[in-house]
Amino acid sequence: MTNIVWAGNEIWLVPDLKWGSGWEYIPEMRIRDSGLYYLQNYLGINQQFDKSWEGNLYYALKFQQNGSIWPSSHLGIVDLIYKNSWMKNRFRLEQDFTKNLLKYRDAMQFKWANWSIGDEMFFNTNSGYVDEGRSTITYAYKFNKTAEGTAGFLLRRQKSSINADWTWTQVANLGIKLNI
């Protein structure tokens, strides 16, 4: 499966390559008018426990452009996901070994017909506060068995310290998912 999303002045390209018994490679790329500025490569394994529960264990190498340099980060990621016909909840622990930073992320999504509403919070365990949140509303239309179009809105909230004010970003997005 491949997701291609146009969001504001960015394009996100996220192919999901699976093989064997649950192995997965996900190169997530983000492109702005100046070119590629973000690349995160996930390599890991997915395990389906039953029809509602699954788990992921990933190593990720992340590069994010900062001026003319591309600093890298090494991440360890553990996901536990619960889903049913009308909701999905992903619990994630994300350890950045380069910065010695542990974050807990909780992403909840509710579905109704072609609509979904979601919210994700990022809890910085080192500092002891929520430093980011993302709220989404999305409409999805399935064209056929292999293609689905999406239109949505993302409201992102970030803060740099516990006493800082929230910085708000609003982004409309259009996407296509190709199951090839």
**pLDDT tens across 93-140, in order?**
999 999 999 999 999 999 999 999 999 999 999 999 999 999 999 999
pTM for the structure as a whole = 0.91
Which CATH number covers residue 161? 2.40.160.40
Identify the three-state secondary structure at position 123: strand
Inter-residue contact 168 to 153 (CB < 8 Å): no
The Cα–Cα gap between 122 and 77 comes to: 14
User: How many domains would you assign to the chain?
Assistant: 1
Domain span at 169 = 2-178
Q: Mean pLDDT across the stretch 69-80?
A: 97
